[in-house]
């Protein structure tokens, strides 16, 4: 077995082992994840990611390590946008707090498979047809502008094509049964409403991957660096969800920051046509600066309270 294959196999076996420990040992019984527990797990996943980045630095040198870390920061920050949608989906379908971790867990497993296919295909295409990098760059700039000018609208999961398709093609049970995805009802094997929620989570992640994967391809075309940074970011996403779920409204400038990150990476990809290359260290500094600035701005200039919310509070 050559070194490259061994790295891919070893990394995926390690991830599978960590997920098995996570679900089989620490979350064997369904329970509502507390902010303290989520904060501890967030620290664990970030620490593991930094150790992995340190290993890349030690074995491959500083440039691949900086590429990995920059891709990790980009993916982690863009993944935060997923949390807004997940929160609304769980609220709409009234998913109990003790079942949310299980949905996110299996959503992560599906995300690994989908992203592995997209990353390998994307890296291969960029390597063979370099001009595709300019299409990705233009797409990211378009996405950044669209994100910047679009208004915040409440997501209606019932309007998502995946929900409509599931209700038409799958036998959906009238009632759920705990954290189970399949039940027997009226003598038939049916999927539970929680399984429909899982499908929405998977479809949402796929849509976000169409933005984030071109973004990290603008940082590195090494499939291993892109894949492992994606996986490490996604692994920490579940625990981060429970940490920031109650703080979403406080970071209202984050969307502006994410738009800036996408726009920067898109322009960075486009200007390579003129043989202008931004150093990876400078890229990391700009991306981190945009992210920190959007968070600090959100804290300095908090979002004005919703007038409707104030009226409701006055009544109670």
Tell me if 315 is assigned to some domain: no
At 189, which helix (H) or strand (E)? strand 188-191
Looking at residue 51, its pLDDT comes to 93
Residue span of the structural domain in which 73 resides: 35-302
Cα–Cα nearest to 83, from 233, 188, 218: 233
What would the pLDDT profile of 17-35 be if each residue is shown by its tens digit?
877 776 655 555 665 667 6
Tell me if 29 is assigned to some domain: no
Tell me if 2 is assigned to some domain: no
Whether 312 has a pLDDT exceeding 50, the answer reads no
Looking at residue 316, its pLDDT comes to 43
Global pTM?
Answer: 0.70
Mean pLDDT of all residues belonging to the chain: 76
Looking at residue 191, its pLDDT comes to 80
**How many whole angstroms separate alpha carbon 267 and alpha carbon 146?**
15
pLDDT class of 307 with cuts at 50, 70, 90: low
What SS3 string covers 84-111? HHHHHHHHHCCCCHHHHHHHHHHHHHHH
Tell me if 276 is assigned to some domain: yes
Tell me if 190 is assigned to some domain: yes
Tell me if 100 is assigned to some domain: yes
Tell me if 316 is assigned to some domain: no
Neighbours of 158 (CB within 10 A): 11
Looking at residue 313, its pLDDT comes to 45
Looking at residue 305, its pLDDT comes to 63
What would the pLDDT profile of 214-249 be if each residue is shown by its tens digit?
778 778 888 888 889 888 888 877 777 766 665 555
Number of domains comprising the chain = 1
- In sequence order, the 6+-apart residues with CB closer than 8 A to the CB of 239 are 33, 38, 39, 41, 42, 44, 45
Crossing angle between the packed helical segments 193-217 and 223-244, to the nearest 10 degrees: 130
Cα–Cα nearest to 236, from 99, 82, 46: 46
Mean pLDDT within 86-99? 72
Looking at residue 160, its pLDDT comes to 57
**How many whole angstroms separate alpha carbon 225 and alpha carbon 173?**
42
Tell me if 28 is assigned to some domain: no
Whether 132 has a pLDDT exceeding 60, the answer reads yes
Higher pLDDT residue, 58 or 144? 58
Higher pLDDT residue, 38 or 288? 288
Looking at residue 54, its pLDDT comes to 93
Looking at residue 105, its pLDDT comes to 76
What would the pLDDT profile of 247-275 be if each residue is shown by its tens digit?
555 677 777 887 887 788 788 878 887 88
Whether 310 has a pLDDT exceeding 80, the answer reads no
């Amino acid at each position: 077995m050559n070194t490259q294959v061994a790295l891919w196999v070893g990394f995926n076996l390690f991830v599978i082992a960590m997920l098995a420990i996570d679900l089989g040992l620490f979350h064997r019984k369904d329970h509502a994840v507390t902010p303290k527990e989520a904060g501890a797990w967030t620290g664990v996943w970030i620490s593991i990611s930094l150790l992995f980045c340190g290993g890349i630095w030690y074995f491959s040198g500083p440039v691949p390590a900086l590429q990995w870390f920059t891709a990790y920061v980009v993916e982690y920050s863009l993944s935060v946008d997923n949390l807004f949608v997940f929160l609304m989906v769980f609220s709409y379908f009234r998913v109990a707090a003790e079942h949310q971790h299980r949905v996110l867990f299996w959503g992560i497993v599906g995300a690994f498979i989908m992203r592995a296919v997209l990353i390998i295909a994307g890296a291969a295409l960029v390597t063979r047809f370099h001009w595709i990098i300019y299409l990705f760059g233009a797409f990211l700039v378009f996405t950044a502008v669209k994100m910047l000018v679009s208004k915040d609208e409440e997501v209606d999961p019932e309007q998502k094509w995946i929900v409509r398709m599931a209700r038409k093609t799958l036998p959906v049970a009238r009632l759920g049964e705990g954290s189970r995805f399949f039940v027997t009802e009226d003598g038939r094997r049916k999927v539970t409403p929680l399984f429909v929620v899982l499908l929405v989570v998977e479809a949402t992640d796929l849509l976000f991957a169409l933005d984030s994967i071109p973004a990290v391809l603008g940082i590195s075309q090494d499939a291993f660096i892109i894949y492992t940074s994606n996986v490490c970011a996604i692994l920490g996403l579940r625990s981060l969800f429970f940490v920031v779920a109650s703080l979403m409204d406080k970071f209202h400038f984050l969307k502006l920051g994410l738009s800036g990150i996408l726009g920067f990476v898109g322009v960075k990809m486009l200007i390579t046509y003129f043989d202008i290359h931004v150093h990876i260290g400078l890229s990391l500094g700009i991306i981190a600066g945009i992210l920190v600035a959007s968070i600090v701005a959100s804290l300095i200039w908090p979002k004005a309270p919703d007038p409707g919310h104030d009226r409701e509070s006055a009544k109670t």
